[in-house]
């Protein structure tokens, strides 16, 4: 069983930064890929940034490239999302997801994940 707990959300002004954390427990083979998603009411959930735990390969949505960075700790028990130059359109509930993945890193944002956290709210005002 994989458990995920997000933290680090908050309310900021446009141009500011936030760092989200996702604490993960459970066998690594069950969570060899992890991805941050965000959702706004009335819109589809969007994959933002994904990472393969073993090799560290990452992939980003075009909307966040150059502003967001996904990383992990050395113990492979946490994944982070550093969000810089935040914009009002980045507002949403951010979820961490994990699964056993294989394939191209580009597929991480569209993979059907089995494990999800409870989410953390990010609000960016102009």
75's tokens: 């113990």
Q: Which residues pair with 23 in a beta bridge?
A: 5, 78
37's tokens: 């998603």
Q: Name the nearest CA neighbour of 33 among 98, 95, 78, 81.
A: 98
pLDDT score recorded for residue 117: 97
pLDDT score recorded for residue 61: 97
13's tokens: 């002004």
119's tokens: 């989410």
Q: Are strands 18-25 and 78-83 parallel, antiparallel or unpaired?
A: antiparallel
pLDDT score recorded for residue 55: 87
Mean of pLDDT over the chain: 96
pLDDT score recorded for residue 52: 96
Residue stretches of the chain with pLDDT short of 50 = none
């Amino acid at each position: 069983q994989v458990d995920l707990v997000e933290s680090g959300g908050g309310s900021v002004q446009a141009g500011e930064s936030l760092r989200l954390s996702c604490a993960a427990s459970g066998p690594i083979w069950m969570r060899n890929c992890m991805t941050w998603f965000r959702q706004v009411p009335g819109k589809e959930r969007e994959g933002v940034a994904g990472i393969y735990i073993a090799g560290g390969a990452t992939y980003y949505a075009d909307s966040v490239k150059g502003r967001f960075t996904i990383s992990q700790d050395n113990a492979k028990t946490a994944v982070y999302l550093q969000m810089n130059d935040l914009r009002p359109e980045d507002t949403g509930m951010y979820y961490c997801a994990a699964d056993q993945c294989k394939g191209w890193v580009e597929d991480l944002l569209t993979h059907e994940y089995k494990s999800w956290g409870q989410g953390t709210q990010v609000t960016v005002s102009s």
